[in-house]
Amino acid sequence: HVFKSPDLDKYDAWGETWKAPKNYNLADEYHIYALDWNKDRITWLVDNKVVYSQKNVHMHYPLNMMFSSETMESRALPLPGSLPGPFKIKYVRSWKKIEK
């Protein structure tokens, strides 16, 4: 979601929803999530596999990392009695690419 950008004067939601394959147990197994962000493209990876990529239209300035386990009524909700549930992050790494 883009709420504010130097080159945008209104809210813009772009992208798609990724659904994990049936053999992924996102709650009981560890997975590696990555974002490759450069001036031309933004690419999302799960367990070192590209799950989505799109042209970088707005993200041309520094941002902060945010982690969330939010749920939405428009998506699948957790089973009754399953909340509160743990949201664990084992580690976070961040690199800055040197553009050539």
SS3 readout for 2-40: ECCECCECCCECCCCCCCCCCCCCCCCCCCCEEEEECCC
Q: What is the DSSP letter of 63?
A: -
Q: What is the DSSP letter of 81?
A: T
- Report yes or no: 3 and 61 within 8 Å, Cβ to Cβ: no
Q: Specify the pLDDT at position 48.
A: 92
CA 14 to chain centre: 12
pLDDT tens sequence across 20-79: 777 777 777 888 889 998 889 999 999 999 998 988 887 887 888 888 877 766 666 777
Q: Specify the pLDDT at position 81.
A: 79
What is the C-alpha separation between 94 and 76, in angstroms, rounded?
30
pTM of the model: 0.68
Q: Which residues contact 51 (CB under 8 A, 6 or more apart)?
A: 18, 44, 45
Q: Specify the pLDDT at position 83.
A: 76
Residue written as tokens 């990529």?
53
